[in-house]
């Protein structure tokens, strides 16, 4: 299997504070990986480096074959991101929010395909602000997937969901991995 993510001895310092100290990891194509640790351990900093939102103080990282420091635009074109505290435009419908996300990319899935795949077609014309937390999370997932990313970053995607919605979300994640994301 191809490695889609490689981090080698990544370190991030903020003045005298070391937020990340020598993290190394690799992720193979089709693999679902969880980064687990206590609050303040540097998990978010590592992920933000891999998403090209922060730069490492030292070390190196590549995402889908592109260097996160030298080729951030190429990385960002090939990843999807659902942050932990996702929120979008309340007054836009689900479809309008997904269309907005789709317009940021040159290539990707048709909006209706993503809505159907995530069972959002029945809520497509509902304003985001009127949705339950679970349907809002699913809308965020649709927005992260509409670009047909090679790699998807999900920051605690089931936080605040009821047990049934949590199971459905994990089923969707397994399907994405099986389909090559």
| Six token digits for residue 43 | 């998990």
pLDDT value at residue 30: 86
- Residue 122 vs residues 89, 91, 96, 116: alpha-carbon distances, Å: 19, 17, 14, 9
pLDDT value at residue 173: 83
Listed as ranges, residues in the chain with pLDDT below 50 are none
pLDDT value at residue 163: 87
pLDDT value at residue 1: 67
> Which residue in 44, 50, 1 sits closest to 25, CA to CA?
50
pLDDT value at residue 90: 93
Rounded to two decimals, the pTM is 0.86
pLDDT value at residue 7: 97
What distance in Å separates the CA atoms of residue 149 and residue 123, rounded to the nearest whole number? 23
Which residues, 6+ apart, have CB-to-CB distance to 154 below 8 Å?
82, 141, 144, 173
| Six token digits for residue 168 | 């459905």
């Amino acid at each position: 299997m191809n490695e889609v993510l490689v981090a080698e001895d990544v370190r991030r310092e903020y003045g005298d504070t070391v937020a990340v100290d020598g993290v190394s990891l690799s992720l193979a194509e089709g693999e679902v990986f969880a980064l687990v640790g206590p609050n303040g351990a540097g998990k978010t900093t590592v992920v933000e480096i891999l998403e090209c939102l922060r730069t490492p103080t030292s070390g190196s990282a590549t995402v889908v074959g592109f260097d996160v420091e030298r080729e951030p635009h190429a990385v960002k074109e090939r990843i999807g991101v659902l942050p932990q505290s996702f929120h979008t435009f309340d007054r836009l419908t689900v479809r309008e929010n997904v269309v907005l996300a789709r317009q940021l990319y040159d290539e990707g899935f048709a909006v209706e395909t993503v809505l159907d795949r995530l069972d959002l077609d029945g809520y497509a014309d509902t304003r985001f602000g009127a949705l339950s937390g679970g349907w809002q999370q699913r809308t965020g997932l649709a927005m992260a997937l509409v670009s047909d990313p090679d790699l998807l970053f999900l920051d605690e995607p089931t936080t605040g969901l009821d047990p049934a919605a949590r199971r459905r979300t994990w089923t969707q994640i397994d399907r994405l991995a099986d389909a090559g994301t």
